[in-house]
Amino acid sequence: MRLACFTLMALLAGCTSPPNALLAHTAIAAPATQPTVELVPTVSLLPEPPAAGEILRLAADGVQVEDAGGEAHALDVSVQSTWRNLLGAVKSGQRTLLPGVLPPYPTLPTDLVAAATASGTGRELGHGCISSSATGERFSEPVSMIVHGSPATLKTALRGKQWVEANSRSPWNYVKMAGSVITRLWNEEGAPVSAMYLDGKLELYALNKNSDYVLARDHMRVYVGEGDTLHLATTRDLAATVTFHHPQAGTTAWKPKLEAPSFGHRTDDDCDHERDLVMTDLLASGLVRDWAIVAGHLTSPANVKQLADGTWMVGHYHTDGRVYEVWLDAPTKP
């Protein structure tokens, strides 16, 4: 990861014609209804909670940032804006947003949702939250889908809907990812995801879709559960974040204490929409034998809060708490 970071700085330093204007992100107070979340420094594209001024939402024409009064302001997603933001981050030493563009979420047919809801009535499924720590100290998004089927069948079902497997977390893959973000010469669709754990275990594999030069993307992590079950944690990255740390105070110019840049992603706070996207693609594969919408019981209660309307906040993620249980048929051989 550090190799990728220093490659990023070298590419920036080699720019002969940088834009003159530097775009600084303005701090905006988060609405009072938002939960208080500790901001954890990131080193390898960890999903980040929103800081002040980073309340994002997806709009039909891109990503918007919302101020304390609820007014939305569009974020520039052009290549020129990405360069301005990167150069501004180098100058300021503060975290900067690099938003991307993604298609709107699909909507599941109401008749299918009604049938799946009826099928799951009276049942409850326990599901955990993934964590950036193997010991479960910092919980992130919850598992939203439990699939009965083999890992290969799940890959086959989603491959036809342009889901691609994420690459390993190697220095070279991080270099390629950084180059994709900076140059926009290629789209690193298989860019790696950060290491996240479920019950102390890393994901079996991860899948990406709709990558916009890794600035924004849909992605899921797949974990092995009990029996033939696979547990899916699904999220949408709305914007990449980067911080170029300035030398710490008290260091000398000839011997500064430098830190590698920190990278991360700002994810959509509502993780239910991504769950519906994955379910839509699974249904389109023709491999879904049955599915049900089941009441969920979160088994990782560290930073979980139930709201007055019965929905849940897990850190900064919002969910209705339901789990999609899916049974897959193995694809038939031609």
Instruction: Considering only residues 17 and 308, tell me which one the structure prediction assigns the higher pLDDT.
Output: 308
pLDDT score for 30: 32
pTM of the model: 0.75
pLDDT score for 167: 96
Of the ranges 10-24, 83-97, 186-200, 272-286, which is most confident?
Answer: 272-286
Reported as a single tens digit per residue, the pLDDT across 68-120 is 566 666 666 677 777 777 777 677 777 777 888 888 899 999 999 999 999 99
Residue 48 pLDDT > 50:
no
pLDDT score for 260: 59
pLDDT score for 172: 93
Q: Record the tokens describing residue 132, joined without a space.
A: 């950036």
Asked if residue 127 lies in contact with residue 299, where contact means CB atoms within 8 angstroms, the answer is yes
Reported as a single tens digit per residue, the pLDDT across 163-202 is 999 999 999 998 898 888 878 889 999 999 999 999 889 9
Q: Record the tokens describing residue 151, joined without a space.
A: 């890992």
Region 25-31: mean pLDDT is 30
Q: Where are the domains of the chain?
A: 2-15+43-248+260-328
Portion of the chain with pLDDT greater than 70, in percent: 68
Query: Cα-flanking dihedrals φ and ψ of residue 281, to 5°?
Result: -70, -35
Convert 210-229 to b/e letters by CB count within 10 Å (16 or more is b).
Answer: bbbbbbbbbbbbbbebeeee
pLDDT score for 66: 59
Residue 158 pLDDT > 90:
yes
Region 223-250: mean pLDDT is 82
Name beta bridge partners: 267.
237
